[in-house]
């Protein structure tokens, strides 16, 4: 027997309609690539998104076709989030940090019909324009005054002209909520990037779950500045949650340095932000150097990589900014877990509470987690057993776009490639990437713990721990360190720094100093490159 409730599809356009009716005057503020601060309202966003939908139709885009973007976080990108998906087309956010060859591969694979891009990326688009096969229209996201006098891109169109040529009379189409809404490719550290095709249903459910008090806790009283990019992992769903709750949004554009971010946090009275640890390093370096405080920011969500404990302590204890550790993946829309506390944790001392906050947190409702051993048997939730993390839920990938790489699921679960523990309260903690685990004498050593300890040393800017070959133990930990400018520390001092902080046999066998640690397109350390670089490294213990 079926229920007798109204049948309404969960559509992304509903978010915009809701925001326009309930938060018409709420602001969206953007630092533009053009250099100035742009400011308008949800009412303006809604009208412009309708114009975008009409402009794309005028360019010949039909429902189900893909529209690519290469853009920073800003209001025009948000218009495309809604205008493209709302009209039934598919928003394909390309990551401009990828190699041009990968951009060409992805644009072709996705069969993008139109590519909208910020002026920053004109050189990249010029480099690929002659190579991509399906893109019929290149649209520079600026006004006529900022269009280049000449460009190697054929028939370069002006976004503002296209949009403003339309009126805003447009009714969002209604269709199956399982229709594709957007597409994002994994960063693809090995092999070709693979596409994750989100649906309207998955996006709305993800926005509901992500806005909950125990997730990002987004409300109409928040001012949210997402540093996490709209060109990757959907800015953790914040551009969607924004319309759901009517938060003021502040988009930083291309200026992600500490000074620019800090000024925007203060001038726009930002209450909440979200980003990867490397961004916060720049921000905190700036505030530390200039003896500054945050006037309004009360929390920041940190994900993408584990947040170094030293950074968490600094944010919370010195700046009064609560850190919410979070974890997710492109394949998960991306939110999986957020580390919000239970009442018993609030009663703990600062150190004990920090140990809980070091975990990536509890699953938001909708996501199921489990850890399994090498044979696929579920391991206990005791905070000790460590195994590969598997996930399932309505905003988690079932297959990659065009069936790339076959069926990724194992018995209905998606294997994340992360190794983690889960405690009895449901708090998950990543101990390593499956491929980064150091297998010493049949036991596993988690590289992340070692890195966190090293990063707490005042002379260390960044540290990676990788497996080096060992004749007796198979693998032993090798610590690769990038020092802070002007700082000095020796190998022996760093080795001694681990004493008492970890089981003795986990201590790295050696330390090497490098000028730079390679970072991938999403700001994560590329340990595969380090493993390649040090594949013949001879440990002193060997």
How many other CB atoms are there within 10 angstroms of residue 378's CB atom? 12
Active site residue 522: no
C-beta of 252: minimal distance to its own copies in Å? 21
205 touches 394 (CB < 8 A): yes
Out of 439, 501, 535, 538, the active site residue is 439
Is 62 among the catalytic positions?
no
Smallest distance from its own copies to CB 348, Å:
14
Q: What angle do CA 348, 429, 211 make, to 5 degrees?
A: 80
**Residue 3 CA neighbour count, 13 Å, CB half:** 3
Contact 256, 227 (CB under 8 A): yes
Preceding peptide of 334 cis, ω within 30°: yes
Q: How far is the CB of 173 from its own copies (least distance, A)?
A: 14
- Residue closer to its own copies by CB (options 216, 464) is 216
Q: Tell me which of 66, 186, 330, 337 is the catalytic residue.
A: 186
Q: E strand or H helix at 16, and its extent?
A: helix 12-22
Comparing CB distances to its own copies, the nearer of 17 and 495 is 17
Cβ-in-10-Å burial (0-12, 13-18, 19+) of 458 comes to exposed
Which of 150, 424 has the CB closer to its own copies?
424
Q: Which is nearer to its own copies, 88 or 277 (CB)?
A: 88
Query: Least distance (Å) from its own copies to the CB of residue 502?
Result: 29
Two structure tokens written together for 179: 């229709």
User: Active site residue: 43, 161, 399, 444, which one?
Assistant: 444
Going by C-alpha positions, the residue among 408, 27, 79, 9 that lies closest to residue 223 is 27
Q: Which one, 26 or 360, has the nearer CB to its own copies?
A: 26
Between 256 and 274, CB nearer to its own copies: 274
Catalytic, 416? Answer no
**What distance in Å separates the CA atoms of residue 251 and residue 72, rounded to the nearest whole number?**
8
Annotated catalytic residue 161: no
CB of 418 to its own copies, least distance (A): 18
Nearest to 358 by CA among 278, 439, 451: 451
Which of 331, 388, 451, 475 is catalytic? The answer is 331
Please name the residues in contact with 222: beta carbons below 8 A apart, sequence gap of 6 or more.
245, 247, 248, 271, 272
In the three-class reduction of DSSP (H, G, I as helix; E, B as strand; rest coil), residue 317 is classed as helix
Distance, CA of 258 to CA of 244 (rounded, Å): 29
What single-letter DSSP state applies at residue 462?
E
The least CB distance from residue 330 to its own copies, in Å, is 12
Angle (nearest 5°) at CA 47 between 46 and 48: 95
CB of residue 114 vs its own copies: minimum separation in angstroms? Answer: 16
Strand-pair category, 248-251 with 223-226: parallel
For residues 176 and 165, give the distance between their C-alpha atoms in angstroms, rounded to a whole number.
30
Q: Between residues 407 and 499, which has the closer beta carbon with respect to its own copies?
A: 407
- Give catalytic residues, as residue numbers: 186, 331, 439, 444
């Amino acid at each position: 027997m079926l229920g007798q409730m109204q049948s309404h599809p969960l559509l992304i356009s509903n978010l915009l309609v809701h925001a326009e009716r309930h938060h018409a005057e709420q602001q969206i503020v953007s630092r533009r690539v053009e250099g100035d601060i742009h400011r308008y309202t949800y009412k303006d966003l809604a009208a412009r998104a309708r114009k975008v939908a009409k402009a794309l139709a005028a360019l010949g885009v039909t429902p189900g076709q893909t529209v690519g973007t290469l853009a920073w976080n800003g209001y025009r990108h948000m218009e495309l989030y809604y205008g493209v998906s709302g009209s039934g087309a598919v928003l394909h956010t390309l990551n401009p940090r990828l190699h041009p060859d990968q951009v060409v591969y992805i644009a072709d694979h996705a069969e993008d019909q139109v590519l909208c891009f910020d002026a920053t990326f004109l050189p990249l688009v010029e480099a690929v324009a002659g190579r991509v096969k399906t893109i019929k229209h290149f649209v520079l996201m600026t006004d006529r005054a900022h269009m280049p006098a000449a460009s190697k891109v054929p028939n370069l169109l002006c976004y503002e002209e296209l949009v403003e040529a339309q009126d805003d009379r447009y009714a969002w189409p209604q269709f199956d909520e399982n229709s594709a809404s957007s597409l994002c490719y994994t960063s693809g550290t090995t092999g070709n990037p693979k596409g994750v095709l989100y649906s309207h249903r998955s996006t709305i459910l993800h926005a509901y779950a992500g806005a909950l008090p125990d997730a990002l806790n987004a409300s109409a009283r928040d001012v949210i500045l997402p540093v996490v990019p709209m060109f990757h992992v959907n800015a953790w769903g914040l551009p969607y949650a924004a319309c759901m709750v009517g938060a003021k949004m502040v988009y930083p554009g291309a200026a992600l340095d500490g000074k620019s971010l800090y000024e925007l946090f203060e001038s726009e009275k930002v209450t909440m932000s979200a980003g990867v640890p490397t961004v916060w390093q720049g921000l905190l370096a700036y505030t530390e150097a200039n003896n500054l405080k945050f006037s309004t920011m009360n929390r920041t969500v940190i994900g993408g990589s584990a947040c170094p404990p030293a950074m968490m302590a600094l944010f919370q204890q010195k700046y009064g900014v609560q850190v919410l550790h979070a974890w997710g993946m492109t394949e998960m829309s991306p939110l999986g877990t957020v580390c919000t506390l239970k009442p018993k944790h609030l009663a703990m001392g600062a150190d004990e509470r920090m140990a809980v906050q070091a975990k990536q947190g509890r699953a938001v409702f909708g996501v199921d987690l489990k850890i399994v051993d090498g044979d696929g048997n579920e391991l206990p939730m005791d905070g000790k057993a460590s195994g590969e993390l598997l996930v399932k839920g309505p905003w988690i990938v079932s297959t990659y776009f065009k069936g790339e790489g076959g069926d990724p699921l194992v018995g209905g679960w998606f294997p994340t490639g992360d190794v983690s523990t889960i405690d009895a309260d449901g708090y998950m903690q990543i101990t390593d990437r499956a491929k980064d685990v150091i297998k010493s004498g049949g036991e596993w050593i988690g590289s992340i713990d070692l890195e966190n300890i090293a990063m707490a040393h005042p002379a260390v800017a960044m540290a990676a721990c990788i497996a080096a070959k060992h004749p007796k133990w198979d693998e032993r930990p090798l610590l690769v360190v990038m020092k802070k400018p002007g700082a000095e520390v020796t190998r022996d001092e760093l080795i001694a720094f681990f004493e008492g902080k970890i089981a003795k046999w986990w201590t790295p066998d050696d330390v090497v100093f490098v000028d730079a640690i390679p970072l991938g397109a999403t700001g994560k350390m590329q340990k595969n490159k380090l493993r390649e670089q040090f594949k013949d490294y001879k440990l002193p213990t060997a």
